[in-house]
Structure 1
Amino acid sequence: MTTNAAQTIDPNRQPVLSVSHLTTSFLVDGEWRSVVKDISFDVMPGETVAIVGESGSGKSVTSLSIMRLLARASSRIEGSIGLNGRDLLSLPEAEMRRVRGKDIAMIFQEPMTSLNPIFTIGRQISEALTCHGNLSRVDAKAETIRLLEKVRIPNASSRFDEYPHQFSGGMRQRVMIAMALASRPKLLIADEPTTALDVTIQGQILDLIKVLQEEEGMSVLFITHDMGVVAEISDRTIVMYRGEAVETGRTDDIFHRGRHPYTRALLSAVPRLGSMKDQPQPLRFPSVDIHTGERSEPKPLADTVDHGKTPVLEVKNLVARFDLRGGLLGRPTGAIHAVENVSFALSQGETLSLVGESGCGKSTTGRSIMRLIDPRSGEIRLDGYDVMKLNAVELRRMRRSIQMIFQDPFASLNPRMTIGAAVAEPFIEHRLGSRGEAREKAADLLERVGLKADMMSRYPHEFSGGQRQRICIARALALDPKVIVADESVSALDVSIKAQVCNLLMDLQQSLNLSYLFISHDMAVVERVSHRVAVMYLGEIVEIGPRASVFENPQHPYTRKLMAAVPVPDPSRRGIRRNLAVDELKSAVRPVGYITPRRQYREVSNGHLVRMEEVA
């Protein structure tokens, strides 16, 4: 059940934050280059203002300028930043340190890099309390436990002495929120606080920020590139493009009457859950020219699936476990049951999506199929290969038929190798031709993925995130594979870049008849690109079937939970609470000798299977 608790803003009150003509520049090669250009906006008491734009638009630099966290030697901040009438740019550094955390607090995108791994959670939050108040250690501990309970961390008192690595990503982000709230700030800056989180955890964090804002009466400056999140949380929105605010207004006006072409381009790239109804095939994202605002609607894609033929990939009863050892002798104490009795088939030209939260076994399934890790048992047949029985030489030959695209393209590319060499390397290593032929192949592949052949001499750091992912796609195509495992390959990308890369993958499927095992937690993207969908929970498939059947008639509670958590780009949902359970994903660790219960599935419709309750 959802509740509506929209915030009422008094326009006659003085702003908590007033930013006027903010210009931030960095010293590059002896010259000052502006990355934020003449930005002005106010944040009223109790109001949420969203700054939205793609990577490099100047969103985070704006927030760091407000907090004065930029290096003074290489940065220059001009204009005025007023917090409750005080000019932050004129304050001495010692006074600014007292403002940070007490009057204005910030939540960063990646909580693990924001928390000190050698100190307990309790100590780090207590430190924020003692720095800005005169609390004793006992009182600080009591207040810390109260804050942990306030941000809905289960068993808060027992987790006071735990370390950051003992918390999940969503729970670490809750700890960061608790730390930010410790001194009851008037303004909370949330810089991409949900981008790296699973969709259900993201929904919980958004609900939490809304509730805490009402309880504490604080203002929020929310920075994101996700227009669905913007619609659900913000009263007003500022759209940034290349350091400038190109459009500002109430969120419903931005969404329904956005004027700037870039605003319309951002909105067109947002996948909307339910938009694929009556669409038999995957559908490309629409494109909007960011200069003219002209929108081109996608044409229906042809059916690429070879129906009735032998599947290119068959997986039966796949089991992958990781032993846990302890004690002086390092004996097994249990095992992580990462993948349990997973079975599916993938036809030529088909996209099967594996969806679920972090830790459900999606990526382990993909890596097991490629034998990047060795499964415990099961059958894997790929393009005529019995994958489980291959030796090292045969395994190398098999991998010509299946390639993988990883989530982080920068970590996937050698920073010392030009992209031309990186794309050509698989062709050379498998001895498919001469170096000249490899270079020609690399140039052709770069053109095919929307880059230029004359870029071959550049290095990975000279490309944007979206361009680097295109390079990784080109490299995956170098061996002319039949199957590509796309492991969260678009989850870290900006919304418009995500749409472009998804369109590229669908175009390549049409032209090369590729099969995709598309691993993701983004249900809205999965609905757009998939022929079939398999939902995983704790290492097992709980629901599998044709995309239309699963999305229009979800049967398993976990499937419905995933779909309910997807942010909807509709400002009328402002203030809605999903009331999602805040429990962490259950552990997949099992004791030695644990036997997985036998599972049964019922068929809802043709090819749509749902796991039933445990059978003794």
Structure 2
Amino acid sequence: MVEISNGNLQVEAPVLSVKDLTTSFKVGDEWRSVVKGVSFDVAPRETVAIVGESGSGKSVTSLSIMRLLPQNSSRIEGSVKLNGRELLTLGSEDMRKVRGNEIAMIFQEPMTSLNPIFPIGKQIAEAITCHRDVSTAEAKAEVLRLLDKVRIPNARNRFDDYPHQFSGGMRQRVMIAMALASRPKLLIADEPTTALDVTIQGQILDLIKVLQDEEGMAVLFITHDMGVVAEVSDRTIVMFRGEAVETGSTDDIFNRGKHPYTRALLSAVPKLGSMGGRERPMRFPVIDIVTGETRIPETEAGGVDNARRPVLEVKNLTTRFDIHSGLLGRKSGAVHAVENVSFDLREGETLALVGESGCGKSTTGRSITRLVEPTAGAISLDGYDVVNLNRTALRKMRRSIQMVFQDPFASLDPRMSVGSAVMEPYVEHGLGPKAEARDKAADLLERVGLKADMMRRYPHEFSGGQRQRIAIARSLMLDPKVIVADEAVSALDVSIKAQVCNLLLDLQQSFNLAYLFISHDMAVVERVSHRVAVMYLGEIVEIGPRQAVFDNPQHAYTRKLMAAVPIPDPARRSLKRNVSTEEIKSPIRPVGYVPPVRQYREVSAGHLVQV
């Protein structure tokens, strides 16, 4: 490592030095700048966080550093130096040797970063063999070590599994293992913990800190999670409309932020424990990003009429996936994804399902909509016996329940304009002419924070957060009674997350919508839900009113989830969580396995915990 002598002080040269970075895209015959004169350094063992709203230029900044933007439609100006070596003038072959070796990047959307036709073990091994002279056996051993380190359960048996066989959170862990394979000098992490639940997130943050200490690795951390920023970053850069509007130590940014936009971001951060003593959900305060004044005050949302019949009733829901092995493909076991789950949901109520990746949250939502066929149980939705519906009745039933999926890029057709995508459900169900559908789609896009004139654009022209807002708008087109929100706000920056959560609460109050809110963000869950169900290995281990569960968690797993939530306090930056790294138990069971009958005790009214 190069050192610069400054009297008696030895100052380490920055690993990354960015000066006057300006990135422009060609639109028609003119160039439009989306990153404007950004400058910063990242020193060895230092973490610099870039925060800002979707579309502020965070990800474009990282892609410019990596030179991953299309050459014919983008222009990068300024200087980007890695250990003193200018990257913007390197030839393509030399730059290819830098990527994945000296600089590694964890991308925001793991499903679009992994090749769907290759096993994950082979993909990680390729990242090793491309840059190091090792044998196949050595590469496999290193891959297994990395998979264990990022807590992929049963790593040896999952080496040959494909990306689609992993949950969203597990795919992100694979991406992190791949990025760390070459022990890079600079790690660019673009929303690396977005898809991870809080316990895994804590372990990954600890892992990055350990690697920084061991290898002198520098980290450029791009995130919307201000709790993560407070805990991992030494310095923070706040970006707004392509410009760095405020830069400073993380402590200064959090405690003495001067720019109105900085204060707006921090005001929107949900804080675990802030709902003490309140029974109903609370809207987030929204700050004017120009004046710094509160534009929408914090207010209480609507309650639930418990006397009304539930719009959704789930009884003993069980969903299993058979495993076949051997030359004859005989059944050798089953994944017990959802096991004997029961709950109900009333109009105007939000029930949050929380738990680690792979615990069965998403499978529960998909089973209710019959995107996945349940193995057993009963589901009643708005008068429909969901399990026994034929194809025609099932199509009609789905007007009453809509789903917002975890990965917005995968749920939007890349060949279809967003206007057509949002209009499609309305048109396909024959609810009105195209002109009427277009007007409604334009109105909904405005309500989720986009502009009506964006309807002609395509999904690839939007940021991850903007694509999630499009998916939310589409789910509202049929005026459903129940919305299954599968990580619906996980890809959103804090300010947009606050606005979208407020929008969901407003719509719920106006139309008596019921939400099944699937999330790993405990602070948001505390803010928006009426009741909470905690899932572990396909079972509900604790369920009850939100206030009762958060104020008095009874199950050990519930307490573990809450203890892992990042706290937006820079004073915790030097702390390591030391979250337990014990392997997650596998939900795979042998043929003939009979699950035990679970017993629950009632802690207080409606608050049940598994014993």
Moved more, 541-550 or 259-268: 259-268
Query: Would the alpha carbon gap of residues 541 and 178 (structure 1) be closer, same or farther in structure 2, given more than 3 Å must change?
Result: closer
Question: 3-state DSSP class of the match of 1:81?
Answer: strand
After superposition, what is the alpha-carbon deviation per residue over 1:152-183, rounded to whole angstroms, capped at 9, x for unaligned? Answer: 77888x57965664777666656655555555
Cα distance in structure 2, aligned partners of 1:339 and 1:434: 40
- One-letter amino acid of the structure 2 residue matched with residue 18 of structure 1: S
C-alpha contact (below 8 Å) 1:383/1:401 kept by paired residues: yes
**Residue 154 of structure 1 contacts residue 583 of structure 1 at CA under 8 Å; is this kept in 2?**
no
User: Do the aligned residues in 1 keep the contact of 2:169 with 2:195 (CA within 8 Å)?
Assistant: no
Corresponding residue of 1:59: 58
Question: Could you say if the C-alpha distance between residues 578 and 479 of structure 1 is closer, same or farther in structure 2, counting changes exceeding 3 Å?
Answer: same
State how far apart, in whole Å, the 1-side matches of 2:281 and 2:378 are. Answer: 29
Amino acid at match of 2:193: T
Distance 1:501 1:463 in 2: 17
The residue aligned with 1:360 is 359
Note the C-alpha offset of 1:597. Answer: 0.5
* Alignment of structure 1 residues 246-285 onto 2, 5 Å: 246-285=245-284
The reply to whether residue 379 of structure 1 matches residue 378 of structure 2 is: yes
Equivalent AA in structure 2 for residue 491 of structure 1:
S
Provide the C-alpha distance between the structure 2 equivalents of 1:373 and 1:164, rounded to a whole number of angstroms: 19
In 1, the alpha carbon distance for the partners of 2:480 and 2:119 equals 47
Report the Cα distance in structure 2 between the residues aligned to 1:177 and 1:511, rounded to whole angstroms.
42
Whole-Å separation in 2 of the counterparts to 1:328 and 1:136: 29
Counterpart position of 1:43: 42
Q: How does 1:225-240 map to 2 (within 5 A)?
A: 225-240=224-239
Mean Cα deviation higher: 361-370 or 335-344? 361-370
Kindly report which structure 2 residues correspond to 1:103-502, keeping only aligned pairs within 5 A, or say none: 103-111=102-110, 114=113, 158=156, 162=160, 165=163, 180-181=179-180, 184-296=183-295, 298-409=297-408, 411-413=410-412, 426-427=425-426, 429-430=428-429, 469-502=468-501
Supply the AA of the counterpart residue of 1:565.
Answer: A
Do the aligned residues in 1 keep the contact of 2:50 with 2:222 (CA within 8 Å)? yes
Output one character per residue of 1:233-292: Cα deviation in whole Å (capped at 9) or x when no partner: 010111122221111000010011111122222222221111111222101111011111
Deviations 1:511-535 (A, max 9, x none): 1122211122221111111000011
Query: Structure 2 CA distance, aligned partners of 1:440 and 1:135?
Result: 59
CA offsets 1:483-513 (integer angstroms, 9 cap, x no match): 2222222222222222211111100111112
Q: Distance in 1 between matches of 2:279 and 2:510?
A: 19
Distance 2:571 2:303 in 1: 38
Q: In the alignment, what sits opposite 1:546?
A: 545
Shift of 1:542: 0.6
Unpaired stretches in structure 2, ≥5 consecutive residues: 1-8
Query: How many residue pairs end up in the alignment?
Result: 602
The alpha-carbon distance between structure 1 residues 396 and 78, as it changes in their structure 2 partners (threshold 3 A), is closer
What does the per-residue CA deviation read over 1:528-581, in whole Å, with 9 as the maximum and x for residues that have no partner?
Answer: 110000111121111000001111111112212222222221111102222122
Tell me the equivalent position of 1:561: 560
Alpha carbons 1:352, 1:517 under 8 Å: kept: yes
Provide the TM-score with structure 1 as the length reference: 0.86
Q: Deviations over 1:263-322 (max 9, x none)?
A: 222222221111111222101111011111112463433543112232222211112222
Unaligned runs of 5+ in 1: 1-9
- State the Cα RMSD in Å: 3.5
In the other structure, the counterpart of 2:4 is: none
Residues in 1 aligned to 2:457 and 2:73: alpha-carbon distance in whole angstroms: 27
Q: Is the 8 Å Cα contact of residues 151 and 583 (structure 2) preserved in structure 1?
A: no
Structure 1 residue 35, shift from structure 2 partner: 2.5
1:443-469 deviation digits (Å, cap 9, x = unpaired):
665666566777777766676655655
- One-letter code aligned to 2:570: P
Q: Which residue of 2 aligns with 1:602?
A: 601
TM-superposition CA deviations, 1:337-360 (whole Å, max 9, x none): 222111111122111111122222
**1:15 aligns to what?**
14
Work out whether residues 169 and 357 of structure 2, in 8 Å CA contact, stay in contact via their aligned partners in 1.
no
After TM superposition, the score normalised by the length of structure 2 is 0.86
AA of the residue aligned to 1:356: G
Output the CA distance in 1 between the equivalents of 2:187 and 2:35.
21
* Largest Rg, 1 or 2: 1
**Distance verdict in 2 for CA 1:171–1:364, change over 3 Å:** closer
Residue range with higher mean Cα deviation, 261-270 or 85-94: 85-94
Deviation at 1:71, TM superposition (A): 4.2
Structure 1 contact 284–503 (Cα < 8 Å) conserved: yes
Distance 1:409 1:184, change over 3 A: closer
Distance 1:549 1:433, change over 3 A: same
The 5 A counterparts of 1:579-594 are 579-594=578-593
Q: Distance in 2 between matches of 1:72 and 1:160?
A: 37
Secondary structure of 2:565's counterpart equals coil
Shift of 1:222: 1.8
Identify if the C-alpha distance between structure 1 residues 542 and 39 changes in structure 2 by more than 3 Å, giving closer, same or farther. same
8 Å CA contact 2:205, 2:232 repeated in 1? yes
SS of alignment partner, residue 524 of structure 1: helix
* 8 Å contact kept, 1:466–1:501: no
The code of the aligned residue for 2:36 comes to: K
Pair 1:508 & 2:491 matched: no
| Residue identity opposite 1:353 in structure 2 | A
| Inter-partner Cα distance in structure 2 for 1:117 and 1:423 | 27
